[in-house]
């Protein structure tokens, strides 16, 4: 009896219309923005003299910094110019996904770019708002990046970061229908 040839799962053709890029981008924006917030709050915790109130104020002021004149794209461009921040993968135009392997690769790259974009926008907005100086902005970005790499290697988790923020600073990070929030927990 002849053995059936194994099919490489990464070479399996993708059914036409089975990947909705727009829907997927909306999904990863919801998921990765909360993760980026956790990474940034963790990185802020590494700064000297950081307190829970300073964390919450930094979050608030950076999120309310002149939103009418700055888009994510212009902020990211400014971050590249001032701080030399770059996304891990070049931005692609129209993405052609032909196989399951292509889809897996594209999804991974889109998630990483979304995460790093959110970190970049937060750090640059905090700098523009005068909340962080240049050194603190660079440190926050790099510490967030290092923490993300630790998570990718399985050394840390987002749940662990959430727990650390609660234990060390009594700062809670979450999301509701209005968006992501950072709050100082009330002492009981």
Residue 155 has pLDDT above 90, yes or no: yes
**CA neighbor of 181 nearest in space, from 63, 45, 54, 65:** 63
* Eight-class DSSP state of 96: -
Condensed to tens digits (0 to 9), the pLDDT of residues 49-88 reads 899 999 999 999 888 766 555 666 677 777 778 778 777 7
The Cα–Cα gap between 107 and 167 comes to 33
**Between the CA of residue 128 and those of 66, 67, 70, 76, 104, what are the distances in Å?**
9, 11, 10, 12, 36
Condensed to tens digits (0 to 9), the pLDDT of residues 5-18 reads 777 777 777 777 77
Residue 35 has pLDDT above 90, yes or no: yes
Q: What is the mean pLDDT of residues 101-108?
A: 84
Give the Cβ contact number of residue 42 at 10 Å.
25
In 129-157, alpha helices (H): 134-152
Q: Please give the pLDDT value at position 137.
A: 92
Report the C-alpha dihedral over residues 82, 84, 88, 89, rounded to 10 degrees: 80
């Amino acid at each position: 009896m002849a053995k059936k040839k194994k099919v490489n799962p990464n070479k399996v053709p993708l059914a036409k219309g089975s990947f909705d890029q727009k829907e997927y981008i909306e999904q990863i924006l919801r998921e990765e923005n909360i993760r980026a917030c956790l990474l940034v709050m963790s990185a802020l915790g590494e700064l000297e003299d950081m307190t829970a109130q300073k964390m919450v104020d930094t979050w608030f002021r950076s999120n309310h910094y002149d939103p009418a004149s700055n888009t994510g794209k212009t902020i990211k461009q400014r971050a590249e110019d001032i701080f030399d921040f770059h996304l891990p993968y070049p931005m692609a135009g129209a993405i052609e996904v032909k196989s399951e392997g292509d889809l897996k690769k594209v999804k991974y790259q889109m998630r990483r770019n979304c995460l790093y974009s959110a970190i970049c926008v937060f750090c640059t907005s905090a700098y523009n708002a005068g909340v962080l100086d240049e050194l603190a902005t660079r440190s926050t970005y790099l510490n967030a990046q290092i923490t993300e790499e630790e998570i990718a290697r399985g050394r840390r988790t987002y749940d662990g970061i959430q727990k650390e923020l609660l234990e060390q600073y009594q700062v809670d990070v979450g999301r509701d229908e209005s968006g992501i929030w950072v709050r100082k927990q009330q002492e009981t």
